[in-house]
Structure 1
Amino acid sequence: MPYHLRFGEADPLRIRFAVSPLWETHSAVRVLARPRQQGYHLPWMRRIAGAARELDLGPLQLLMPLHGHSPDFLYPPPIRPVASFEEEIAAVRETDPALALDDFERALAETPGAAGTAAGRRMLADPAGAVGWLADLLEDAWEALIAPDWPRLRALLEADVAYHSRRLAEGGLERLLGELHPSFDWAAESATLRVAYAGDHHRPLDGQGLVLLPSVFTWPDVVSGFDPPWQPTVAYPVRGIGGLWAEPAGRASEALGRLLGPVRADVLCALTEPMGTTALAHLLGRAPSTVSAHLAVLRDAGLLTSRRYGHQVLYERTPLGIAVSQPGTD
């Protein structure tokens, strides 16, 4: 049975995209326990294996049943389009213990015997203390598993938001929802978004709108099911995940390097998706100040365009930039 997210008159005007480092952290912890989700992430898993062994992930994974309820308060819908991890984990620490206890009881009931484990008993006996304990574990997981790669992950997520925002502007809500994921089914007659999933969840949006959350580690699933008081949210696999962990494919051609200079040519060729200065510098192993100077020259030459998203500027190639950067014969 699918999720059913029913739109009211005002809800299409309150759709927003967001990026969440907390969601990626939580989802990465889930991936480590789910072989089905590991496919594209095997290079990452090999690299972080040692760090993961040093973490205490058991209590978090105890609250991640294969199907059924997981505590919403541990990864609430993002409070703004691109919140920092520090902002998001601070909101987790402020969770009402009564709300946390309800989440614990529902999640632990999904897995036989979970409530009777030492971790399960600790959560049920002291929900306020458990909130802080689990927040500490999430913070450890963020630092070890996600933070070192966050510039790369954030660049991919924000490129997805930029792409789908354009598609929304070009074709409207029905077209956008039809393209986000094969499991999405928009029923225009009832203004309901149905999302195929092993559950049955009905949620009227009631004027709150909908958060669309691209995710790296959610792949290949779509996740929804947030209950009040949380804003209705759907997390879906980000575009371009196939090349996420691959090393940059060859540098620019020798001829393009002679024309533009080798570093500037590499900057142009690396922009296969919209990207910010920090993420691009991380990808190329260059200082942000160096990359920023080259981006400015390429933009002035008409090879790149730029636009502001949140607190950063995203760069992408113009049609001329795409043509110039295509592989040729040296």
Structure 2
Amino acid sequence: MPLALRLGSDDLTRCRFAISPLCQTHEALRMLRRPARHGYHRGWLRRMGRTLAGLDLTPLWLFVPPAGGYTPDFLGAPPGEPYPSFDDELARMRATDPALAHTEMTRSLACTPGLAQSRRGRAAIDDPAATVQRLADLTERAWHALLAPDWPRHRAVLEADIAHRSRRAADGGLDALLTGLHPSVDWADHTLTLRRYAEVADAQRPDGRGVLLMPSVFVWPDVVSGFAQPWQPTLIYPARGMGGLHADPPPRPPRALARLLGHRRAAVLAGLTAPSSTTDLARRHGLAPSTVSAHLSTLREAGLLESRRRSHHVLYARTPLGDALVEGDVGPGAG
């Protein structure tokens, strides 16, 4: 049976988006444990090979079943605000009620036969407060080693996904937003149905707080839901553009686009499958940063790109018109 979430009127008016660096960290860890998810991230894995070799996360792996199954919700809990910092989320994780942690860790260990009775399993649940702090320490290490260096680009991809879906909602209403989240997500008769997700007996049902929608770089090819009490009902789905975040080499531009803009400028536009900085694009295309900067300025003036400052970087992303040109969707009267 698929997972069905029926949304009442209060839920429909309170659906919202959020970006969670803590959740992204644990989705990355789940991806590392499940090889089927590696497809879009092989370039990232190659870059992280040496880092991963020196990162001992054994106590965390205890609660990330490699063949699927339940990971404790408090490890990547739905955030209470739209754009929390990692430090704030980690502090919230450290403050997890030991009784709640014990319940969730016991459920997770039960997914692997014999693990709850093992020495490590018993030690973890015998002192849940200490285990929470140990898991938080390891999560902090994983964040700084695996995600923090790339977080400006990751966050830009997630923000671009939210902006795109917000435009869909503005153009077509909530129906357009919810039906376009993922091929396995259906929306009909006030019910959000996850067809590839098995029914979860104790999944948190919509209760007037709305459903939290969180794009993810690492969740592909799945959609994740089923958070139990007391967490807000949440749907984590693959972010639009995540496939190009670590793509190497850049895609070739369509021939017609290359004739229109020139090959190099068209290649820069086509290569922006995810928000990127001038330095990123120069490295990927083998061009001087000054050359890339000139192409970016021209493309932005033409309305094909937009830029946004993120920390010390300026990240460029395609506008809907830029997307349409690259994808060949500009017809008569467009623009």
Corresponding residue of 2:281:
284
Deviation at 1:318, TM superposition (A): 7.1
Which moved further from structure 2: 201-210 or 29-38? 201-210
CA contact (8 A) 1:108 1:114 kept: yes
Superposition pairs for residues 254-293 of structure 1, below 5 Å? 271=272, 275=275, 279-281=276-278, 283-284=280-281
Superposition pairs for residues 1-330 of structure 1, below 5 Å? 1-65=1-65, 66-188=67-189, 191-196=190-195, 197-201=197-201, 203-247=204-248, 249=250, 271=272, 275=275, 279-281=276-278, 283-284=280-281, 301=301, 303=303, 316-317=318-319, 319=321
CA contact (8 A) 1:152 1:282 kept: no
Q: Distance in 1 between matches of 2:322 and 2:20?
A: 33
Q: Distance in 2 between matches of 1:22 and 1:45?
A: 19
Q: Distance in 1 between matches of 2:185 and 2:322?
A: 35
CA contact (8 A) 1:222 1:236 kept: yes
Q: Deviations over 1:45-77 (max 9, x none)?
A: 122122112222222222123344321111011
- CA distance 1:255–1:225, shift in 2 (3 Å): closer
Between the aligned residues of both structures, percent identity stands at: 49
Divergent runs of 4+, >6 A: 250-257, 264-269, 293-297, 307-314, 320-324
Q: Distance in 1 between matches of 2:111 and 2:268?
A: 49
- CA distance 1:125–1:222, shift in 2 (3 Å): same
Q: Distance in 1 between matches of 2:214 and 2:315?
A: 20
- CA distance 1:306–1:127, shift in 2 (3 Å): same
- CA distance 1:215–1:176, shift in 2 (3 Å): same
Corresponding residue of 2:286:
none
- Give SS of 1:212's match: strand
Q: Distance in 2 between matches of 1:120 and 1:218?
A: 26
Which moved further from structure 2: 31-40 or 59-68? 59-68
CA contact (8 A) 2:184 2:194 kept: yes
- CA distance 1:133–1:213, shift in 2 (3 Å): same
Aligned length: 314
Q: Supply the AA of the counterpart residue of 1:230.
A: W
The structure, 1 or 2, with the larger RCO (C-alpha pairs under 8 Å, 6+ apart) is 1
Q: Supply the AA of the counterpart residue of 2:10.
A: A
Deviation at 1:323, TM superposition (A): 6.5
Q: Distance in 2 between matches of 1:165 and 1:105?
A: 39
Which moved further from structure 2: 311-320 or 229-238? 311-320
CA contact (8 A) 2:300 2:306 kept: no
Structure 2, unaligned runs of 5 or more: 284-289, 329-335
Please give the TM-score of this superposition, normalised by the length of structure 2. Answer: 0.79
- CA distance 1:314–1:232, shift in 2 (3 Å): farther
Q: Deviations over 1:119-154 (max 9, x none)?
A: 322221111111110001111111111112222222
CA contact (8 A) 1:302 1:318 kept: no
Q: Deviations over 1:216-262 (max 9, x none)?
A: 111101110011211110011112233221246389989969xxxx9
Q: Distance in 2 between matches of 1:283 and 1:107?
A: 39
CA contact (8 A) 2:251 2:267 kept: no
- Give SS of 1:227's match: coil
